[in-house]
């Protein structure tokens, strides 16, 4: 592996960790704003990556994607514990929606900031340049992925709480019924040719930002 390749791997791993760990921390921070200290008491508001590592999502999946030559790495951190009953009691459905979308919001904001700085660095041979590039890519992919209203993704939680807020309990009840099949639905999208359409919005936004 060349020196350039080592640089790319290091930048990719670092940007992926920033994307997925920050995503989870933001869920806990916004929940804390609404009086839920579950994540804080569990030590999950820390930037220490060790407390957020999920063996499958943080290590195995990204490693497989890298070794298989995938165009980008993908992964997830261990979910931050949240007592949504406390959030609902103190912030209502608006608070629950804010907690649900906190990670996605973080990813999009970070991608936009990185895209503004990126043009000032040469991606060829520049660690900072490649880091900024991968920050845009991974944060957009993670943000778009989680925005889909498929349980157990954040988008599904946001839709469910919004439906309850406006009195569409049938929608929320539907989500509760299909939640057990959520991972199967996701696998159908990710592991089949449908993945081309599933990730197209992310590719489109990345092209706009870069």
pLDDT at 1: 44
pLDDT at 70: 62
The Cα diameter of the chain in Å comes to 58
Q: What pLDDT is recorded for position 129? A: 93
| pLDDT at res. 73 | 66
Q: By CB neighbour count within 10 A (0-12 exposed, 13-18 middle, 19+ buried), where does 124 fall?
A: exposed
Per run of 10 residues, the mean pLDDT along the chain (length 210 residues) is 66 90 96 96 89 82 70 76 96 97 97 95 86 95 92 92 91 82 77 75 90
Output the pLDDT for position 12.
Answer: 86
Which pLDDT score, from 0 to 100, does residue 2 have? 45
Domain hosting residue 183, numbered range: 3-209
Query: What DSSP designation does 49 have?
Result: G
Query: What pLDDT, on the 0 to 100 scale, is given for residue 3?
Result: 45
Provide the number of structural domains found in the chain. Answer: 1
Query: What is the reported pTM?
Result: 0.87
pLDDT of residue 57: 76
Residue 71's alpha-carbon distances to 68, 138, 204, 205, in angstroms, are 9, 11, 15, 16
């Amino acid at each position: 592996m060349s020196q350039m390749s080592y640089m790319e791997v290091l930048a990719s791993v670092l940007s992926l960790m920033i994307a997925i760990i920050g995503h989870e921390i933001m869920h806990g921070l916004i929940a804390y704003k609404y009086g839920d200290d579950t994540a804080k008491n569990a030590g999950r508001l820390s930037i220490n990556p060790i407390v957020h590592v999920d063996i499958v999502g943080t290590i195995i999946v990204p490693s497989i994607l890298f070794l298989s030559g995938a165009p980008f790495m993908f992964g997830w951190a261990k979910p931050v514990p949240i007592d949504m009953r406390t959030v609902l009691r103190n912030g209502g459905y608006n608070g629950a929606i804010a907690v649900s979308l906190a990670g996605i919001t973080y990813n999009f904001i970070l991608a936009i900031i990185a895209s503004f700085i990126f043009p000032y660095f040469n991606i060829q041979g520049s660690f900072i340049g490649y880091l900024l590039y991968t920050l845009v890519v991974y944060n957009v992919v993670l943000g778009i992925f989680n925005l889909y209203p498929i349980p157990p993704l954040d988008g599904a939680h946001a839709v469910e709480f919004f439906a309850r807020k406006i009195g569409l309990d049938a929608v929320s009840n539907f989500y509760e019924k299909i939640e057990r099949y959520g991972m199967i639905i996701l696998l159908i999208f990710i592991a089949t040719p449908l993945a081309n359409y599933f990730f197209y919005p992310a590719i489109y936004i990345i092209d706009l930002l870069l």
